Chain A
Amino acid sequence: MTATATSARSDLSELGRSETALRTFLHGLPGVDQVGAEQRAAQLGTRSIKTTAKAQAIDLAIRMVDLTTLEGADTPGKVRALATKALRPDPADPSCPHVGAVCVYPAMVPYVAEVLRGSQVHLASVATAFPSGQAPLEVKLADTRAAVEAGADEIDMVINRGAFLAGRYSEVYDEIVATKEACGDAHLKVILETGELATYDNVRRASWLAMLAGADFIKTSTGKVPVAATPPVTLVMLEAVRDFRAATGRQVGVKPAGGIRTTKDAIKYLVMVNETVGPDWLDPDWFRFGASSLLNDLLMQRTKLKTGVYSGPDYFTLD
């Protein structure tokens, strides 16, 4: 599908220079019909993934997990344990793949970095006054730089929802551009906090805004507001990255986060990726799950598939 729209590729890099151009572009995107989008997402959820396909999906989902702890109570001991689990999720089975990344607060980055050093597991840190994003830009940028200096190679920033909902798109855009610059080589994931954007039209616009400003990934949620990732929101974001690549040639990743707890749910998301954007996105470089409890359910189901029996929760580590 990479080649479908090469002819239509356009240069959208100038859009960010003017509030009017940005607004005209974002409001010119095709609308999203709520009922239709929810129906499509539900329909994709009825696919039946069994046997070999299930085994393949579970391993892929494990590799896509951003193993996350974002609590006030996080300590060096806690995050070290989590990082250790990220490297070897199932100590009883060396064939079990490692997860995609560990995701923590900036203050915890150095402790995780010690454990992950030399491994292929990425180290993500939230930044930019996570989760509200309500801090002066300088503070947000300092937050970002600190996390990168401490060893994070992925930054999960939050957009300024207040500015977005007030229609100050340039402000949101400029913040993302500045944060991207502060990231240096680190990958930038932009959290839209879709639960606060409320409509799918807003989700589509925010997705494009983030991508235009240089996001490497767009992410649904912080996990700190009542509504986190949902299948239809993720569907709308997948459609956005698909259309963005068709328009610009640049591929952007997607990360649903919050509320995905079961293997069944994770597989529904993988089906959605497969049938919306195709196999190019079925890779930890392009799709991640922001989750914590999901991993143990994936491990349980993986063991069940291999052995034919369910083990109790005590057979999987709690970190």
Chain B
Amino acid sequence: MFEYAPAPESRSVVDIKPAYGLFIDGTFVDPTDGGSFKSINPATEEVLAEVAEGGAGDVDRAVRAARAAYEKVWGPMPGRDRAKYLFRIARIIQERSRELAVLESLDNGKPIKESRDVDIPLVAAHFFYYAGWADKLPYAGFGPDPKPLGVAAQVIPWNFPLLMLAWKIAPALAAGNTVVLKPAETTPLTALLFAEICQQADLPAGVVNIVTGAGETGRALVEHPGVDKVAFTGSTEVGRAIARAVAGTRKKLTLELGGKAANIVFDDAPVDQAVEGIVNGIFFNQGHVCCAGSRLLIQESVADRVLESLKRRMAQLRVGDPLDKNTDIGAINSAAQLARIRELSEAGSAEGAERWSPPCELPERGFWFAPTIFTGVTQAHRIAREEIFGPVLSVLTFRTPAEAVEKANNTPYGLSAGIWTDKGSRILWMADRLRAGVVWANTFNKFDPTSPFGGYKESGYGREGGRHGLEAYLNV
């Protein structure tokens, strides 16, 4: 046997303060009418830091600071000068990438190999990409002189804390807006480190404001009358509430919500790579991915063979310490999320689907869930319809391409889909018919700042990334 010795990334590269204030108008301040909450390491349940909880008054301060910065500094600033700041931020992110990666893994529970190789490089890439647009907005296809909207209120989830921040802040700033961003309450720390990076980059005060807190803070922010634009990534339930709150106002809104993506494997698929794609589709980031390939549709004629390979591959997944460089699956982000995953998994068993997990030892402390697949799932099962947001895969079968399309589209969501086949014409035929914002062919969960991302139906509206992502932050 070849046992890998522990290979932990050192956490000494990151200096976590015992307590953090709100980042408003370029400085860290104490909340005036809020309390504080604790951010914990989900792998150990250890408290990492005490974080300020912003109240309505704090949100108001932040929005006013953003408004002032928009009117006096950032709005009038030529695009080429805004670009300089964004390029500077991108470079600092690269320079401090190790620190950011370790902090992200500590606060979120995701394996260091993912924060190091996926999250942080994509964060830097996003800032580099939109920095390039800042002085080229007249050529983006939105008219000769597109104007920014003003102050953007941005609320982001806990699954890719810093990456979602980058998706929100980079295009907003490039287009000339200023922002007030609320990170998720379980993962505020990298956003606060990003605030320090803004200081380090000499970004003018008030251009970026970070107000930490939970649902109430988010509500105060999106409902604030001084906000011109609301951008939200998170659950469909909260997205609906925000849409209701914003309805009838002049605020522009983009929503990136849940998903229940179909990953469709045809009988002529490259099996070994398809299995990698299935694993990457559902077990990447513990399945805490809105575009996760959580419904596997296999052509019935190859179902046994693909499942056998999948199970063999799943037995190789290494679950454990997120900071170990060889960990494939880290901790579930919170006790609440773990409870939801458990509840839906139990519903899967109760409804008659067959549950399987590879033998794997889970740590005693912290929030953990073994990678799991359910076979014998039908469209009528809850686990085929509801977003689990965890390392749980529902396996269904189909007979013909038309049936695959029908099943894939038979969901209230429409964020992403995957197609595995050796036939190019079938990829195009399927992609035409799948009602999903992103369709991956012979790959899954690939992201790039140049590529627009967003959903159909209950997965939300608006696009982030690429030239299209600018539209949400321009008055067009």
Which A residues lie at the B interface, using CB under 8 A?
Answer: 1, 4-5, 30-33, 35-37, 39-40, 46-54, 56-57, 60, 239, 270-271, 274-275, 279, 282
CA distance in complex: A279, B1 (Å): 6
Stretch at the interface among B74-82, B135-143, B174-182, B264-272: B264-272
CA distance in complex: A315, B465 (Å): 56
A-B contact pairs, 15 of them (CB 8 A): A31-B270, A31-B422, A36-B272, A36-B277, A39-B276, A40-B272, A46-B117, A47-B4, A49-B5, A50-B5, A53-B2, A53-B5, A56-B2, A60-B2, A279-B2
Report whether A36 and B7 are in contact in the complex, using a CB–CB cutoff of 8 Å.
no
CA distance in complex: A30, B312 (Å): 17
A-B pairs with lowest CB-CB distance, top 7 = A36-B273, A48-B7, A48-B325, A33-B273, A33-B270, A53-B5, A30-B271
Q: What is the chain A residue whose CB lies nearest that of B3? A: A53
Q: What is the chain A residue whose CB lies nearest that of B273? A: A36
Query: In whole Å, how far is B310's beta carbon from the nearest beta carbon of chain A?
Result: 12
CA distance in complex: A275, B2 (Å): 10
Report whether B113 and A35 are in contact in the complex, using a CB–CB cutoff of 8 Å.
no
Q: Is the interface of B mostly helix, strand, loop or mixed?
A: loop
CA distance in complex: A31, B442 (Å): 12
Instruction: Tell yes or no: B406 within 8 A of A by CB.
Output: no
Report whether B272 and A37 are in contact in the complex, using a CB–CB cutoff of 8 Å.
yes
CA distance in complex: A35, B2 (Å): 28
Query: Cβ of B410: which chain A residues have Cβ within 8 Å of it?
Result: none
Query: Cβ of B268: which chain A residues have Cβ within 8 Å of it?
Result: 30-31
B271-328 at interface with A (beta carbon < 8 Å): 271-274, 276-277, 308, 312, 316, 325-326
Query: Cβ of B276: which chain A residues have Cβ within 8 Å of it?
Result: 36, 39-40
Number of interface residues of B (CB under 8 A): 26
Question: Contact partner of A50 among B7, B270, B308, B443, CB < 8 A?
Answer: B7
Task: Given A47-B4, A50-B7, A275-B316, decide whether A32 and B270 contact each other with a Cβ distance below 8 A.
Answer: yes
Report whether B4 and A30 are in contact in the complex, using a CB–CB cutoff of 8 Å.
no
Query: Cβ of B442: which chain A residues have Cβ within 8 Å of it?
Result: 33, 35-36
Query: Cβ of A37: which chain B residues have Cβ within 8 Å of it?
Result: 272-273
Question: Contact partner of B312 among A4, A52, A271, CB < 8 A?
Answer: A4
Query: In whole Å, how far is A18's beta carbon from the nearest beta carbon of chain B?
Result: 24
Contact with A along B415-435 (1 / 0, CB 8 A): 000000010000000000000
Query: In whole Å, how far is B116's beta carbon from the nearest beta carbon of chain A?
Result: 9
Question: Contact partner of A49 among B7, B117, B422, CB < 8 A?
Answer: B7
Q: A30-B268, A48-B325 provided; 20 other pairs, C-beta below 8 A?
A: A1-B312, A4-B308, A4-B312, A30-B271, A31-B268, A31-B269, A31-B422, A32-B270, A33-B274, A35-B273, A36-B270, A36-B277, A39-B276, A46-B117, A49-B4, A53-B3, A53-B4, A239-B272, A274-B2, A275-B316
Question: Contact partner of B273 among A1, A40, A56, A282, CB < 8 A?
Answer: A40
CA distance in complex: A40, B269 (Å): 16
Query: In whole Å, how far is A207's beta carbon from the nearest beta carbon of chain B?
Result: 13
Query: Cβ of A47: which chain B residues have Cβ within 8 Å of it?
Result: 4, 325-326
Query: Cβ of A46: which chain B residues have Cβ within 8 Å of it?
Result: 113, 117, 325
Query: Cβ of B274: which chain A residues have Cβ within 8 Å of it?
Result: 33, 36
Report whether A282 and B5 are in contact in the complex, using a CB–CB cutoff of 8 Å.
no
CA distance in complex: A113, B152 (Å): 79
CA distance in complex: A5, B276 (Å): 20
Query: Cβ of A271: which chain B residues have Cβ within 8 Å of it?
Result: 2
Report whether A36 and B443 are in contact in the complex, using a CB–CB cutoff of 8 Å.
yes
Q: What is the chain A residue whose CB lies nearest that of B317? A: A275
Task: Given A31-B268, A46-B117, decide whether A51 and B273 contact each other with a Cβ distance below 8 A.
Answer: no
Query: Cβ of A50: which chain B residues have Cβ within 8 Å of it?
Result: 5-7
CA distance in complex: A52, B1 (Å): 13
